[in-house]
Structure formats: C-alpha cells, structure tokens
Amino acid sequence: MARVEDKVALVTGAGSGLGRSSAVRLAEEGARVVVTDLNAEGGAETVAQITAAGGEAFFLQHNVAEEEEWLSVLAEVEKRYGQLDILVNNAGVFLVKPIATTSLEEFRWQNSINVEGVFLGIKYGIELMEKSGGGSIVNISSIAGLVGTAVSPAYCGSKGAVRLLTKGCAMECAQKRNKIRINSIHPGGMLTPMLEEGMKALGGGDKVRKGFENMAPIGHLGEALDIANGVVYLASEEAKYITGAELVIDGGITAA
C-alpha cells in the first residue's frame, strides 16, 4: 500500500524546486496531484514527469496571492475529485535585500505571496477538506522563520508569520475536531532555482556557494528530495498525531 494512496493533493509553486519534487513524491506514493503555479511551462513539466512515471496529475495556473484564483482552483478540484486531502502551501519568493533598501511595495509583494498566499490556502483548503472528512496541510516556511538571516530580513518576517499562522490554525482545527492537521517545514539551503538566484543576488561565484555549503554542519547543501520526503511524511497517516509542529530539514544549521 502506497503511503498516500488515492489521496487528492494540491501543491502550489509545483512548477519548480521543492514544489515539483513534493508533487512527484506524493504521486509516487499514490496521490492524485493537482500541480499549481504561476509558471505554466514549469507546471506542465512537473505533470509530464509524474505521468511519464505512471502517476496522475494535472496543472492549473494559479497565483496564490489572488483570492479569486484560490476559489476557482479549489472549485475545479472539487468538481473533478469531490475531495481535497493534502495541501502543500509551497509557493514563495525570496527577497535578498537589506531592510533599508527594501521598499514598502517589495515588502507587501513578498508578503502577498509568502503570507497571504498561505493564509488563503489554509482558509479555503480547510473548507474543502472539512467536506471530505479531514486532511493534512503542510506549509513551507524556512529556517529564516526560526532564526534571523542578515541577507534577507523581510523574508524572515514572512516566514516567521507562516510558522505561527500554522500553529494558530492547527490549534483551531484541533479544537474543532475536524481531523485536519497543519504543520510547517523549515528547509535550510536547498539547491533549487530560488537558491541559485539568491546566491547570484549576493554576488555569485564559488565563495558565496561555499559560504552556503559551510553554513550546514553536515557540510553540503540539501536537495529538493530531502524536503519532499518530509512533505510525504507529514501528509501521510504516519504523522496522524502530529499537528502544529515544525519539521526542520536543514543539515543541522539551526542546531549549531
């Protein structure tokens, strides 16, 4: 029996990096996966990867910062499957900038995706999950939601918000006994297009890369699959007693 057999999973930002890997792993473990992203090309590639391996997936273009788009995406999921069991709020953006040069517009833009996008996903995801008897929501925060990082202070603010939004909503669901668990994952430096872009913004080159690699006591960067495996665990019944928790997958960075 696969670990999330016949579950319906929606993964946001699944056209790249951690989202793509999570979508692929969930499909490998038996889920029917709704791949959403702003980027249609990346989303189609993820779907192709899943279907080529014999899995089931389809793509919906989706800006997580837009309430109307959440409503239409979830209406489509309900129409097709009549249920939602797993929601991975993964889409995010990474602003690498000192606070003094971060404009209010940039701050709001980042929060509209990293925080408001997660808020909307939880709010409307719960509604559909309740109709189908419960589920698991996994929010992708960051180690930058646990500790401060000098290169991206505004990003820390957004990821810290995801951490406690997760816990608050998890407690509300627990109190309602609606069988919905909500947890956060806190990746360290994982090799994805986002991290590559972040390293470029810091000047790029071997020195910057080594700096990121050496940050982890384990001695190297993580890969998307390390996060995807955490997503599968929290999404599955193996984690049935886990809610409001934070799963840190960072090669030991925040333990040091």
Residue 231 interacts with ligand NAD (CB under 6 A): yes or no: no
Helix axes 224-235, 17-28, angle to 10 degrees: 50
Sites for ligand NAD among residues 29-68 (CB under 6 A) = 37-39, 42, 62-65
Q: Determine the size of the site formed for ligand NAD (CB under 6 A).
A: 30
Task: Tell me whether residue 49 or residue 63 sits nearer to ligand NAD (CB atom).
Answer: 63
Burial of 131 (0-12, 13-18, 19+ CB in 10 A): exposed
Q: Which two tokens mark 25?
A: 């792993």
Q: Rounded to the nearest whole angstrom, what is the least distance from the CB of residue 234 to ligand NAD in the complex?
A: 14
Q: What is the DSSP letter of 244?
A: S
Residue 91 interacts with ligand NAD (CB under 6 A): yes or no: yes
Q: Provide the strand spans (E) within 62-158.
A: 86-89, 135-140
Map residue 185 onto helix, strand or coil: strand
Distance CA 18, CA 198 (A): 15
Name residue 57's beta-bridge partners: 33
Residue 202 interacts with ligand NAD (CB under 6 A): yes or no: no
Q: Which of 60, 122, 140, 199 binds ligand NAD (CB under 6 A)?
A: 140
Residue 156 interacts with ligand NAD (CB under 6 A): yes or no: no
Q: Give CA separation, 52 vs 45, 46, 48, 73, 223, in Å.
A: 10, 10, 6, 24, 22
Q: Which of 95, 190, 248, 253 binds ligand NAD (CB under 6 A)?
A: 190
Q: Rounded to the nearest whole angstrom, what is the least distance from the CB of residue 62 to ligand NAD in the complex?
A: 6
Piece of the chain touching ligand NAD by CB under 6 A; list 71-79, 92-100, 122-130, 228-236: 92-100
Catalytic residue status for 155:
yes
> Which positions are catalytic?
155
Binding site for ligand NAD (CB under 6 A): 12-13, 15-19, 37-39, 42, 62-65, 90-94, 113, 140, 142, 187, 189-190, 192-195
